[in-house]
Amino acid sequence: MKFRCEREQLVEALGTAGRAVSSRGGSLPVLAGLRLELAGNQLTVTGSDLDLTISAQIEVAGDADGVAVIPSKLVADVVRAMEPGAVQVTVAEGDAEIAAGRSDFTLRTIPAEEFPQIAGAEGDAVTLDAEQFADALKQVVPAASSDDSRPILTGVLLAAEPAGLRLVATDSYRLAVRDLPGTTVLDEGQQVLVPSRALSELARLLSAGGAVTLRLGEREASFDVDGVVLTTRLIEGDFPNYRGLIPESHPNSLTINRSELLDAVRRVRLLAQESTPVRLSMSPDGLELIAMTQDVGQAHEALDAAYDGDELTVAFNPDYLLNGIDVSAGDEIRLETVDALKPAVLRTVGDDDFLYLLMPVRVS
Amino acid sequence: MLGRFFSILGSGAVGFSFVTILDRLPLVHRTKREDRDDRDADRPGDGADDCPGAEPCGAVALALQIHEAVPDQPPAQSADEDREECQDPRENWWRGRGHAGRRSRVGSHAQSVRAQRGPADIVSACRHTGEVVDGTTDRTARRSILHVDMDAFYASVELLRRPELRGRPVIVGGSGLRGVVAAASYEARAYGIRSAMPSVRARRLCPHAVFLPGDHAHYGEVSSRVMNIFRSFTHLVEPLSLDEAFLDVSGARRLQGDAVTIANRIRGRVADEEGLPCSVGVATTKFLAKLASQRAKPRPAMTGPVPGVGVMVIRPGTELDFLHPLPVDALWGVGPATHERLTRLGVDTVGDLAALPLDAAIAALGEASGRHLHALANAVDDRAVVPDQQAKSVSHEETFASDIHDPEHLEREAVRQADAVSRRLRKNDKQGRTISLKVRFPDFRTITRSITLDQPTDSGRVIAHEAKRLLASVDTSPGVRLLGVGVAGLGVEGARQLQFGDIDDGETVWDDAERAVDEIRDRFGSGSIGPATLAVGGELRVKRQGDQQWGPDDGPGTDTTQT
């Protein structure tokens, strides 16, 4: 294998594919490497941890086709350290030679045949607007759990609803639901559970805009963004029935300016230490935020808000609350509550496409 | 619908419910020490050599751990009740200085006590006279610290219930092959029996001794009454374990008389109200007060216990005269390793260390340890008496009568301990985020595994689930000698992040269930209800605090409660 290309291009391809490589070192040593495959002028760089696989394709000046697996971090560091300009890569007899200007590095390669073949997802390709999809991911993915002991909750549910595609995630403390009306990805009633880690990586790729092509298969899902293909194993199992969690009616409703609330919670949170909550005291006069940590101090802040309902104080984990306010769209948001122990709903006023359900903190 | 949700969110839940009997703050125990024990345990032939089959140095079956800021501080006292009281010279033969590992640590502690019987002239002994002491010249500048230590506490409490045993050698502790002595009456000590000694050895030394199983719950009750007596003198009471406490009476002197008067009144009241003997050390620092109280203790003798002075005072201004002749390992924090390093420097006595330039001490012992020990050697110990030390972790552990190989049996034991830990957490209104599992193998190799949750918990269901997961990650094929489950990272219960799984038509199901179980147990006993997993053969085997604290008795089901 032999090719020449611009350093910047190669750095980007190695970096993108390298994000799928597990830093913790899996069971297969070959997975610490990136697989480079040259066919004509097409170079495909692939990294994988078996659950997540990312392939980046770039145009290079190809000289001799071939396949090689090179240690991921090392090759990325070496290429990044080169002088700007053209880089030449030559692989022969188990050595990869990387040369640029007067620099010349030789890296031992890993036998390429050990690299697992990752099948792409089958299924029909559906193309979505990258920006809109990225937006939806940003709202939903943070609500997924990072606790591997509850694998189901580490996934984001993609479900076909009559009105379009729905994304749902929960870590059992909060739940985020986002609808993409008019988007048809799956057959009606069909749903898949995609690991949130894969979707966080996807969100990074989507930041450039353009379009994303989805393929949702039985076991894998693939996302194709501008020459980069991200393939992920799907999580098997049944997602909790989140619909039953959303209260049907809310006696209390607070409407408030989103950025004012965001800033105020950020301030008050400074005094909500040692996992103490932030209290929201709601009355027709408005909203008062209270945080107090024993032996540390307390913070109060009053905010103008329209409140319809009984006077009520509810406490929330400030981080969960902030995240909900942060990812909600629009200028005005509405917090709907039942009582101090039941889930509260956060929505954007005049927009039913996003809902953030949040369990309170019980204060004794 | 929601049921489905539950099963997922609460995955791994066994049929659960819950427990404890806690009572009050248990025993002070230091983690650092434990770590070292673990290392020692890895060395072949060490630790277990003089106590084959016995749990070394006090199988502290459960301990509310209080992590002290001071590095490598010796036990204020752990389960092995007032071990350093044993002053029978015959103990020396097995307690040589040269021992490595745990034994010698205990040994060095005891040596310190022996060495305290130094020049009597600088120590004022006062028995109900209040004749001496307490810096009259500068009483405002100096603190008056009392260290009150119950004499052979568990044994003394048992004698109150069984007066017919008075005058006989009585041993409280585990009577099984792996049991240890928790406390020995002074009559038993005359035979060389001491706390933390393997029960097997104790039996050999004194075959006619009466062995009594420990009743931790009862000792806890008595202890809390005793502590309340202390608190009637000053609110600055820092319990170190069930049977000893520091009292700062500096502020009480004006109203209640000088420190010695207070010390004598305390002894009088504890004797009158509880019928129990105690010894009191009076000094200007905690460290010296503790040394003094040991000197005030009765001494065992074949002809019967020789009464101690009861109250021992180290006068302000005489601290160094008292301290400097002592061997250097009398200092808290001088274990075998440090002792060896100091010996190489030619430091034998506390005075030698005090005379060492601070830099040299730091060079030899490290920054923190060097500074600390150098300060102690100069009688500088400004640690205050801190009432209500907050527990940092809650744990239960158990040494099995025989090693367990069956994974399912081990899981059951993990559930049993999780159940007990969670009950104790709830009783103390605590929740913790870090769940840990401790496993000791037959070769004494000990490992701990832990996991930190994103939310603090006091739920036995959650703790058991995590403990079982940790257990699954450990290769238990060699068999398991001891298993422990603990929760650390404690915070005050009160603010609890609710989960979706908690709601069922507005009820927080598991919380309420576990609390209901607590109430049932309060009324009908801890064996009345428990995790379904623990119901074996028509019996419910739950763990109560203090069960098998000093090692297992032989035979199965010693802590079984009939359902």
CB contact under 8 A, B495 and A363: yes
Query: How far is it between the farthest Cα atoms of chain B?
Result: 81
Yes or no, beta carbons of B497 and A317 under 8 Å apart: yes
Partners of A342 on chain B (C-beta within 8 Å) are 503, 506
Contacts of B453 in chain A (CB under 8 A): 147
Asked if A247 has any chain B CB less than 8 Å from its own CB, the reply is no
Mean pLDDT computed over B225-231: 91
CB–CB of B352/B382 below 8 Å? no
What are the start-end ranges of the E strands in B62-158?
62-65, 123-125, 145-150
Q: How far away is chain B from the Cα of A82, in angstroms, using its nearest Cα?
A: 42
- Contact across the interface for B500 and A150, Cβ inside 8 Å: no
Q: Under a CB-based contact definition with an 8 Å cutoff, are residues B73 and B333 in contact?
A: yes
Per-residue pLDDT tens for B327-371?
Answer: 888 888 788 888 888 888 888 899 998 988 888 888 888 888 888
Q: Please report which confidence band the pLDDT of residue A271 belongs to, taking 50, 70 and 90 as the band edges.
A: very high
Q: Is the pLDDT of residue A151 over 90?
A: no
Minimal CA–CA distance to B400: which of B55, B37, B26, B31? B55
The answer to whether the CB atoms of A240 and B496 lie below 8 A apart is no
Tell me what the pLDDT averaged over chain A comes to. Answer: 91
Which tens digit of pLDDT belongs to each residue from B531-551? 777 777 667 777 665 555 555
Which pLDDT score, from 0 to 100, does residue B30 have? Answer: 33
- Partner residue facing B498 (CB), from A171, A294, A362: A362
How many alpha carbons lie under 13 Å from residue A60 in its C-beta half-sphere?
Answer: 33
> What ipTM score was computed for the predicted complex, to two decimals?
0.78
Share of chain A above pLDDT 90, in %: 67
Residue in chain B lying closest to A319 (CA): B497
**In this complex, is the C-beta atom of A360 within 8 Å of any C-beta atom belonging to chain B?**
yes
Distances (CA, A) of A280 to A268, B100, B400: 11, 60, 51
- Residue A172 has its nearest CB partner, among B495, B500, B508, at B500
Q: Searching chain A, which residue's CA lies closest to the CA of residue B433?
A: A275
Domains in chain A, please, with CATH? 2-114 (3.10.150.10), 125-244 (3.10.150.10), 248-358 (3.10.150.10)
Asked if the Cβ–Cβ distance from A240 to B500 is below 8 Å, we say: yes
H or E, element range at B426: helix B407-427
Residue A153 to residue A170: CA distance in whole angstroms: 6
Q: Are B282 and B260 in contact (CB under 8 A)?
A: yes
pLDDT, average across residues B42-64: 37
What CA–CA distances, in Å, run from A289 to A283, A342, B236?
12, 19, 37
Residue B21 has which token pair? 């009997």
Q: Could you say which of A274, A343, A362 has the minimum Cβ distance to residue B491? A: A274
Q: Where are the alpha helices (DSSP H) in B87-145?
A: 101-116
pLDDT 10s digits, A83-117: 999 999 999 988 999 999 999 999 999 998 888 88
pLDDT top residue among B34 and B446: B446
Would you say B117 and B110 are in contact if contact means Cβ atoms under 8 Å apart?
no
Q: Are residues B4 and A317, on separate chains, in Cβ contact within 8 Å?
A: no
- Smallest Cβ–Cβ distance between A172 and the set B469, B494, B501 belongs to B501
B9 neighbourhood in chain A, CB within 8 Å: 150, 153, 172, 240
